Amino acid sequence: LKAYKKLIQDYNQLTLTEFESIKQLLGTKKFISYLKIKNELATKIKSILIGDKLADNKRDANAKPLPPPKIIIEKSE
C-alpha cells in the first residue's frame, strides 16, 4: 500500500508541475483554453474506448446460441 500511495503522490505532483509550467508558458486565458481542450480530448478518448467495449459486448450478445450437443451412443457388439 505504501508503494501504491507513493505512485499516487508522484502522479499528482506531476500533474501539479504540468499545471504550473504550462500556465506560466501560456498565460491565464490560453491556459484555460488548453485545459478545456485537454478535457475534451480525454473525454473523447474515453468515449471511444467505452464505445469499442460496448460494441464488443453487443456483438457477443447478438451471437447465435450454440445448438444443443448431439449425443452419440456407441454400442458394442
pLDDT of residue 55: 66
- d(CA 49, CA 53) in angstroms, rounded, equals 6
Which alpha helices (H) appear in the chain, and where do they start and end? 2-26, 28-61
Residue 64 region, left (φ>0) first, then alpha (ψ -120 to 50), else beta? beta
Q: What is the pTM of this model?
A: 0.54
- The predicted-structure confidence for 17-74, as pLDDT tens digits, reads as follows 999 999 999 999 999 999 999 999 999 998 888 887 766 666 666 667 778 888 888 7
Q: Scanning the structure block, which residue is given the C-alpha cell 478545456?
A: 36
- d(CA 31, CA 23) in angstroms, rounded, equals 5
Instruction: List CB contacts of 34: < 8 A, sequence separation 6 or more.
Output: 22, 26
